[in-house]
Amino acid sequence: MTTTTTPPRPDPASGQQASSAPGQQALHAPGQQAPHAPGGLAGGDLATRVRADFPLLAREVHGKPLVYLDSASSSQKPAQVLAAMQEYYERHNANVHRGVYTVAEEATHLYEAARGKVARFVGASERATVFTKNVTEAINLVAYGWGLRNLREGDEILVTEMEHHANLVPWQLVAKLTGARIRAIPVTDDFLLDLDALDGLLTGRTRIVAVSAMSNVLGTVNPVAAIAERAHAVGALVVADAAQAVPHLGVTFDDLGADFLGFTGHKMLGPMGIGVLAAREDLLDSMEPFLGGGEMIRDVDIESSTFNDIPWRFEAGTPPVGDAVGLAAAVDYLAGLGMDQVRAHEVEVTGYALKRLAEVDGLRVLGPADLEHRGGAVSFTLGEIHPHDISQVLDEDGIAVRAGHHCAKPLMKRFGVQATTRASFYVYSTTGEVDALVAALDKAKRFFG
């Protein structure tokens, strides 16, 4: 898998939600709006250029500047995204698709334009790009929409030991209903998927391979394309959890070679409440609805209904239009930076973090050392100090990290830990923040030592 591929750029007028929408003000290009950004840094450090776009990063916590190192959980939002959403609610808010009046038509246009933009960002078919609530719902859509109707007793669902619960639990539920069996690709001591085990695990019985494109805990970037090729050879479908990969690696649908791809807005500078399922068009077309209700029907009688075309067949009820507009603005922002630049910046900050963390006595990183095989989510343990205690000490210095099992309990068990502390980076993360983290970890060691 090429991790630095730049996704197709949206159209050049992408700074606007929709050029035909009235009252639209062009939003600033990322990193150029910043009234208080230091000048003369073009082409320099990405974080320095973009930080002023993120209002929340200017706040203080306990009297110290916020050091936000939890972007793998949720990213912060640039002013451009917030402005696009405000603009939507102030000027274009209405329910979509059937309103025969100007504002409703604008809302519909914005919603569908957002879909197109998001689809192009990951190189997916617009018809097969479904807006969901989050990645979890996207994967449940596949598990129930495809799995429940196609899996039979004796079939196998192949997951990995490093899956987020989102790409594991839906399969357990559907396995229970169908009699299918769950098997797992193990994780090696080097924090990589054990591809040698794949030959024994991938058989004619395998119908689904559910794999994370990048681990939210280990940071490991998995070779989804290679796995997909082998999965397809035995007739299995591949469901890739790209919650981390799409925001950080710049992967496209074709790069991954998966049949279904789930990702979410709030981890890629967009709002919470909107996720995406990008699917192979023919597969999605063949699938029955997951959720029933308004929007997803063609005709309804008391006893039965016929259903809408894709993608709307899978979007029951009023969709999150304002969130879609925000996500489109986030996609514009990322495309404006260039995903290759985003990835390069994270490689730099992650490399620096791994070097600095290695200097902390008693600290053990759970994840690959090789920057080519990992993204910017860095999990670690520090002696016997519980991650919640570490996180509490760090918070005192305004540093936000995640402590816990990261919704990956089988992985925690694999490495014999209850929990880890995780620092994760994004476009606005700086090496100075890594220094603050390391200093606070030393403080935690003194405190609990």
Partner 1 sequence: MGLEDLYQEIILDHYKKPRHPGRLEGDRVEVRHYNPVCGDELTLGLRLDGDRVAGVAVDGKGCAISLASASVMSDLVLGRRVPEALEAADAFRQLMHGEAEPDEELLEDGIAFAGVARYPVRVKCALLGWMAFRDAAARGLAGQDGGETVYGEDENAARAAKAERLPGERY
Q: How far is CA 168 from CA 209, 240, 252, 361, in A?
A: 11, 11, 23, 35
292 belongs to the binding site for partner 1 (CB under 8 A): no
Number of Cβ within 10 Å of residue 359's Cβ equals 10
Contact 39, 28 (CB under 8 A): no
Please tell me the distance from the alpha carbon of residue 65 to that of residue 438, in angstroms, as a whole number: 16
Residues 80-139 that bind partner 1 (CB under 8 A): none
Half-sphere exposure of 255 (CA within 13 A, CB side): 23
Shortest Cβ distance from residue 181 to partner 1 (Å)? 14
Q: What does residue 6 show for φ and ψ, rounded to 5 degrees?
A: -85, 125
Shortest Cβ distance from residue 177 to partner 1 (Å)? 6
Contact 219, 378 (CB under 8 A): yes
Residue 407 catalytic? Answer: yes
Shortest Cβ distance from residue 376 to partner 1 (Å)? 24
Residues 129-158 that bind partner 1 (CB under 8 A): 148-149
Residues 16-45 that bind partner 1 (CB under 8 A): none
Shortest Cβ distance from residue 290 to partner 1 (Å)? 12
Shortest Cβ distance from residue 385 to partner 1 (Å)? 8
418 belongs to the binding site for partner 1 (CB under 8 A): yes
Instruction: Select 307 or 448, whichever has its Cβ closest to partner 1.
Output: 448
Contact 398, 60 (CB under 8 A): yes
Shortest Cβ distance from residue 409 to partner 1 (Å)? 8
Residues 430-449 that bind partner 1 (CB under 8 A): 447-448
Catalytic residue chosen out of the listed positions 61, 148, 407, 417: 407
Instruction: Select 145 or 326, whichever has its Cβ closest to partner 1.
Output: 145
Task: Kindly report whether the peptide bond that precedes residue 78 is cis, defined as omega within 30 degrees of 0.
Answer: no
Residues 165-204 that bind partner 1 (CB under 8 A): 176-178
Q: Is 366 left (phi over 0), alpha (psi -120 to 50) or beta?
A: beta
Contact 366, 417 (CB under 8 A): yes
Which member of 92, 345, 374, 405 binds partner 1 (CB under 8 A)?
405
Please tell me the distance from the alpha carbon of residue 39 to that of residue 47, in angstroms, as a whole number: 13
73 belongs to the binding site for partner 1 (CB under 8 A): no
C-alpha gyration radius of the chain: 22
Q: What DSSP assignment string belongs to 370-394?
A: -GGGB-SEEEEEETTB-HHHHHHHH
Sequence-distant (6+) residues with CB within 8 A of 44 are none
Which member of 396, 410, 435, 442 binds partner 1 (CB under 8 A)?
396
Contact 249, 221 (CB under 8 A): yes
Which member of 419, 423, 434, 438 binds partner 1 (CB under 8 A)?
419
Sheet strands side by side (includes 129-132): 129-132, 275-279, 260-264, 237-241, 206-212, 156-160, 181-185
364 belongs to the binding site for partner 1 (CB under 8 A): no
- The first and second tokens of residue 241, run together, are 């959890």
Which member of 45, 281, 389, 442 binds partner 1 (CB under 8 A)?
389
415 belongs to the binding site for partner 1 (CB under 8 A): no
291 belongs to the binding site for partner 1 (CB under 8 A): no
DSSP state of 19: T
386 belongs to the binding site for partner 1 (CB under 8 A): yes
307 belongs to the binding site for partner 1 (CB under 8 A): no
298 belongs to the binding site for partner 1 (CB under 8 A): no
Instruction: Select 301 or 384, whichever has its Cβ closest to partner 1.
Output: 384
- The first and second tokens of residue 389, run together, are 């205690």
Residue type, position 43, single letter: G
Most distant CA atoms of the chain, gap in Å: 70
Number of Cβ within 10 Å of residue 29's Cβ equals 15
Shortest Cβ distance from residue 125 to partner 1 (Å)? 28
Sequence-distant (6+) residues with CB within 8 A of 311 are 115, 126, 127, 128, 129, 130, 131, 284
Instruction: Select 30 or 387, whichever has its Cβ closest to partner 1.
Output: 387
61 belongs to the binding site for partner 1 (CB under 8 A): no
Instruction: Select 48 or 74, whichever has its Cβ closest to partner 1.
Output: 74
341 belongs to the binding site for partner 1 (CB under 8 A): no
Which member of 223, 292, 383, 404 binds partner 1 (CB under 8 A)?
404
Residues 235-264 that bind partner 1 (CB under 8 A): none
Give the binding range for partner 1 (CB under 8 A) out of 290-298, 309-317, 388-396, 426-434: 388-396
Which member of 210, 393, 434, 438 binds partner 1 (CB under 8 A)?
393
Contact 260, 237 (CB under 8 A): yes
Chain residues that interact with partner 1, rule: CB under 8 A: 148-149, 176-178, 385-386, 388-389, 392-393, 396, 404-405, 409, 418-419, 447-448
Which residues are known catalytic residues? 407
